[in-house]
Amino acid sequence: MSGLKDITHKVSRVQVIGPLGVGPMESFTDGHRFYFADDDTARLAAHLTGTKDLAGRTVRISRTKKGWEEKRGKKPAQHLRERLVEGTTVYRLDEEWLFTAAPTTPAVDQ
């Protein structure tokens, strides 16, 4: 049995555009935070690693044996928060990264 907190009942699926224009990508949100499956976390990590945060520190997001971690400048690396959604482990990046809902394309009647 996993020790991760299951938040399935608290979140909804949403397509988002992330920092520096990455996306659209699927995520889950509780209305305040965004959670990403492993593949999407890898996509975000590749996009954000090497960029600067608001304090001007170089960011590195990488996979370790214990999960994903985020390092900013010389500060020790912090593990990304992990939760379960629909039986899948999802990860939440630092609060500083902003995500917005991706525009939806209206269905075209034929």
CB atoms within 10 A of CB 93: 23
- Token pair for 77: 């690396």
The model's pTM: 0.85
How confident is the prediction along the chain (110 residues), in pLDDT tens digits per residue?
Answer: 456 799 999 999 999 998 888 889 999 999 889 999 999 999 999 999 999 988 899 999 999 998 999 999 998 899 999 999 999 999 998 878 888 888 766 555 55
* H or E segment to which residue 28 belongs: strand 25-29
